[in-house]
Amino acid sequence: MAQRLPTILPDLTFEESLEITKIHSIAGKLGENTLVTQRPFRSPHHTISANGLIGGGKIPKPGEISLSHYGVLFLDELLEFNRNTLEVLRGPLEDRNVTISRVGASLTYPCNFMLVASMNPCPCGYLGSKEKDCTCTQRQKENYKTKLSGPLLDRFDIHIQVTGVDYKKLEAKNGESSEDIRKRVNHARNLQIERYKQFGVFSNAELTPKLIEKYCILDKESNEILGKSFEKLNLSARAYSKILKVARTIADLDKSEKIEKIHLIEAIQYRSLDRI
């Protein structure tokens, strides 16, 4: 299901537009426009099948993950999705492409997408809430959390817990505007495109281990902080590299050539579910 895209995402490059247009053309979803000029935003219902998500059919066609290429795939109420359906995301999230094999054909489609998901902390939704007490038993809470596998959670760059918002904060209009945020995002993305142009990479999220080693350098103090966090939170090697890439992005948004300690600490804070 396609929806209006949030305005704070970076502008598309011409190369990205061409790739997206090809995929949507193959899927028969190009519409009236001959060139896609906005990043895709897909939000499928939780009843979607694995084939609907990754693609399929007698003649394999792109699924939601490929239709989200260079855009956003948003999974609302993540734990309402079938667990086996969610597990098919693990390979594409890592490889950024998906191969669909059938008797008559075997096709590979790109799927370099941003996965965004939301979920309740427990079945009743009130765990940790100030408004109402949680009514779930310990067993219910444990069973609920196991609907999301560790390996899939590990593939998220950022996961944070969000509490309820007071009316006064909702009423306040002194926050940064979407247009101002978009300018900062575009500036950071342009820095990354220029930095990695010789490698065919558009963003920090696409960095290989060798590029991480070259462009995500930490000073001695930051290295020690990351080492202590790695042991305390029992982080995986994948989470380690994600923290570095997020820290590099925070530094870019801050217009900093180097990853400073404050950037690294902020990136570590975005691994909240590793502490549960």
Extended beta strands in the chain, E state: 41-42, 55-56, 61-62, 72-75, 97-101, 106-110, 114-117
User: Is 150 inside any structural domain?
Assistant: no
182 and 245 housed in the same domain: yes
So what's the pLDDT on residue 1? Answer: 52
Last residue of a domain, one of 119, 138, 156: 119
Total number of domains constituting the chain: 2
User: Is 111 inside any structural domain?
Assistant: yes
Query: What percent of the chain is predicted at pLDDT more than 70?
Result: 94
DSSP state of 171: H
Domain span at residue 78 reads 14-119
196 and 262 housed in the same domain: yes
Is 229's pLDDT higher than 70? yes
Residue 162 pLDDT level (bands cut at 50, 70, 90):
confident
What is the residue-averaged pLDDT of the chain? 89
Residue 57 pLDDT level (bands cut at 50, 70, 90):
confident
Residue scoring higher pLDDT (85 or 6): 85
CATH number, domain with residue 82: 3.40.50.300
So what's the pLDDT on residue 66? Answer: 97
So what's the pLDDT on residue 54? Answer: 94
> What dihedral angle (degrees, nearest 10) is formed by the CA atoms of 79, 80, 85, 91?
-30
114 and 197 housed in the same domain: no
User: Edge-to-edge, what's the strand order for the sheet holding 72-75?
Assistant: 41-42, 72-75, 114-117
69 neighbors 23 (Cβ within 8 angstroms) = yes
111 and 178 housed in the same domain: no
Instruction: Tell me the pLDDT tens digit for each residue of 83-108.
Output: 999 999 999 999 999 998 877 778 89
